[in-house]
Amino acid sequence: MGKFTKETQVVHGISTSHTTSKDLVPPVHLSSTFKFKSVEHGASVFKGEEDGFIYSRIANPTVDLLIEKMSVIENGEAALATSSGMSAISSVILSLAKPDDNFISCNSIYGGTFAFFNEHLKKFKIIPHFVPASSFLEMSRIEDLIDNNTRFIFFETPANPTIDVIDIEMAASVAKKHNIYLVVDNTFATSYLQNPLDIGADLVVHSATKYLGGHGDSIGGIIVGQKKIIKLIKEHHIVHFGPMISPFNAWLILRGIKTLALRMEKHCENAMEIAKWLEKNPKIEKVYYPGLLSHKGHDIAKKQMKKFGGIISFEIKGGIDAGKMFMNRLKMCIMAVSLGDCETLIQHPASMTHSTYSKKERQKAGINDGLIRLSVGIENSNDIIHDLEQALL
């Protein structure tokens, strides 16, 4: 499928090897276990000498279709699908690092990821070195943190919720120089707008719950990379810890991916219009959106992204109290966490998704108390703007 465009890949991009009835839409394989033709056949499959399915914690035909499609649209060699974005991230970290190892992470990341890195990895004696996004503009500051026990660099771009943009190619050059991995969370950009593996990343992770599923009805995670790394993660973690995605969620995400290109085009179109409107509004203090010339990461985003995404963060004049009043006045935009749904979702990071940070940690990451994150939906952009406008009165 490599010869086709992304618009075609997201619709096609998978084989029909797991169906014998020529279904246009592949079936959901809900079976927990699979039949062997003989004892000899079972033994051969268990040894890996012959292809076949054993048990859905290890592999499942529907899940295989999802990972096949994700390999295609992320331009990777192999992929894994897990039960959530967090299980994808934790599977990567616990596979690549061992006790007394360390890694470097941008400090502006999803609150659940931050909590896992900052608190739970202590139990495994794996040490995160948190740095601000600005450190990635001067890579010598990153290199100063790398020692013999550093295993990888991790970041999101655009970042949650500050919308910081990090130069993937530059970070990859440092990772390769020091023979460590680069892991990029591509949830905000998606495989349609950005392909980190093409510009030097070793692994890409997604919360498939967001734009890939796209309809707020499924939860899943994706890991894509080279076959040898994916094999390591599967054999050393996935099979034994058991974070495999359910076949039904895999099927829902497969269905969602078919419209990924259409939805992302609309998300991006709406977000650009709304970001420009917000920037001109006298009641708005600051707007963070990579498509704006005022965004400090605009040139990097233009280089590595097809368009600028569907997430905007902004601050209202009057601080957190003005922000609360604004959000409570909204009539159409939905106050809810998560993102990437067809509906426009709005939330307050400091008290919601990023409440896992202390106030000091939020300040270091640039997550101000008055910051509001808007996941722009696919509604008519004028309707979204009218709702924001009436709530600002």
The catalytic residue positions are 57, 110, 185, 210
Separation of alpha carbons 359 and 118, rounded Å? 14
CA of 137: how far to CAs of 1, 203, 286, in Å?
35, 21, 22
Helix (H) or strand (E) holding 223: strand 221-225
* Closest of 324, 312, 310 to residue 370, by C-alpha: 324
Separation of alpha carbons 336 and 321, rounded Å? 19
* Closest of 283, 285, 373 to residue 327, by C-alpha: 373
Copy the structure tokens of residue 158: 């655009």
Separation of alpha carbons 183 and 318, rounded Å? 38
Count helices and strands in the chain by DSSP H and E runs: 16, 12
Q: What sections of the chain are H helices per DSSP?
A: 6-9, 39-47, 61-73, 85-96, 111-118, 139-143, 168-177, 190-193, 227-233, 239-241, 247-257, 260-280, 298-304, 319-329, 359-365, 381-392
Separation of alpha carbons 220 and 213, rounded Å? 8
